[in-house]
Chain A
Amino acid sequence: MSEGLISSRQQEVIEEFELFDDWMDKYEHLIELGKDIPAIQPHRKTDDHLIKGCQSKVWLAADETDSGAVEFTADSDAIITKGLVGLMVRVLSGADARAIAEADLHFLDAIGLHQHLSPTRSNGLASMVKQMRLYAAALAARQS
């Protein structure tokens, strides 16, 4: 069911971004999305939760809910990165650990933002996705 959740959320994001054919409109939307990000609690913005990218910083925390799902909170010092992080959190947060660990994340490709996921883009996003999956995989292993 959770796999279905991730995939329907990806579909939702793809349809949302289909409205924009100009890059600047896409970025405008990302900037708006960054404002609604489920923010990491200030006291958790420590080096333990810092994902080091070359240029922009990303903080990420993961928590297990009572029902065994994973909830993410995050932040970034760059506004566009924050929007991208917000998209990842929106797609994955609240899903089952195993579904997150195994999710086929194709939406960034579909909306033309895949370049921001490349390891050379140095915005920490690629490392963040890896970290989200690692956390989920570890939790899934404990749950089974």
Chain B
Amino acid sequence: MMMASLNLPERIRQDFPILQRKVHGKDLVYLDNAASAQKPLAVIEGQREYLSNYHANIHRGAHHLAQLATEAFEGARGKIATHIGAAHTEEVVFTGGSTDAINLVAQAWGRANLTSDDTVLVTRMEHHANIVPWQMVCAEKGAKLVPVNVLEDGTLDLDDYASCLEQHQPKMVGFVHASNTLGTINPVAEMCAQAKAAGALTLVDGSQALPHLNIDVQAIDCDFYVATAHKAYGPTGLGFLYGKKSHLESMPPWRGGGEMIESVSFEGTTFNGLPHKFEAGTPHISGGIAFGIALDWMNGVGTENISHHETRLVEHAHAALGTLKGLQIIGTAPHKVGVVSLVVDGLHPYDLGTLLDGQGMAVRTGHHCTEPLMQHLGLESGTLRMSFAAYTTREEIDRAVIALDRAINMLR
């Protein structure tokens, strides 16, 4: 396994056509994987194959193409269920992404279960996607939304978490598996156990975990788990909600329309069973199929190999960046996914990002859709974030450090 991960990029880089291109005349160095990962040929070809060979609408058609498309789409659902260790395939609901999945739970579960006496607990390191949907339903129901603190090194304040559970007795607790801004991996299984003991349901936002870690929803024992395909080498516009069957069964549907019904009349409509009751309208069929292929690709490479490789990259980046004067790494938790956020004394991240772009490097600057976290850490202009994937090399990180050094000297 060690050996396999050492030469991982060498083995897989040719799977990614985009990595061959140049930007502003320089070899592309793509370090914005936490925003979206690039796609391997298998995913690109799989989507093309579906669109050119067996596209049809699914579930209802009596014809051959409809059957092929349905099998492929439902097959992808099965691959997701297996990949995350769900007990039942119908516990996986296709959504438009993580944001859409959280909105589904906030609306379908939240509107039916929250009252003005209730609290929803989240953390200060959440992406806006795991804050705003709760804020909306809490405002509607008069419920409270309470954040758990984050410590200076970017780890979650687990003492504050325990006391929030005790003090507020929340009905729902939502937290990231891994932070998109800090890289911090949260102890999700322990957190779920504590929440369960306090009588709360749990929703884990796995957007940044799926591309980097092995996920086992039964071992984590969360009530809901969400993730998006495009950060895990799959297509945009698609993700999933995992929910324990009993919860999904008792939740009312959210969006109405075709696919989600059993029968419709003006006297009354009866709804379809799981998972289709939450999938109104024609889904993103090509996206679902391609996501299944992306998971096959990841499993072919080996999630452990990817994890191991990225951990080494983070260690290397932390060490190499430490040589630059005035640079501070934001988020130094002991367990991190491939995310390195940084600030440089007196310099605006936007300037640094622009000057890296000029040298062919793609990084992200700003608040990374985690404004409350940036406010909490006193970083008004946000950070510059480098984020890694299976194909990222140590040489690319070295090039980025040299480019950053040049940018700093130009701006000083």
User: Which A residues lie at the B interface, using CB under 8 A?
Assistant: 22-24, 26-28, 31, 54-56, 77-81, 122-123
Contacts and interface: CB of A to CB of B under 8 A. Distances in A.
Interface in B351-395: 351, 354-355, 357-359, 365-366, 381-382
B54 interface: no
Chain B interface residue number, banded: 10 to 19
B358 A24 contact: yes
Contact of B358 (A27, A79, A123): A27
B97 interface: no
A31 B406 CA distance: 14
Contacts of B354: 27, 80
Contacts of B410: 24, 27-28, 31
Contact of A56 (B24, B350, B357): B350
Nearest to B26: A23
Nearest to A79: B351
Nearest to B411: A79
Contacts of B365: 55
Contact of B381 (A26, A55, A79): A55
Contact of B382 (A24, A27, A55, A81): A55
7 contacts: A24-B355, A55-B348, A55-B382, A79-B411, A80-B351, A80-B355, A122-B366
A84 to B, nearest CB: 10
Contact of B350 (A27, A28, A31, A78): A78
A55 B355 contact: no
A55 B358 contact: no
A103 to B, nearest CB: 25
Give the 7 A-B CB pairs with smallest separation, nearest first: A78-B348, A23-B358, A55-B350, A78-B350, A55-B366, A56-B350, A23-B24
B349 interface: yes
A54 B367 CA distance: 9
Given A22-B25, A27-B358, A27-B410, 17 more contacts: A23-B357, A23-B358, A24-B359, A26-B358, A27-B354, A31-B410, A31-B411, A55-B348, A55-B382, A56-B350, A56-B381, A77-B348, A78-B351, A78-B381, A79-B411, A80-B350, A81-B351
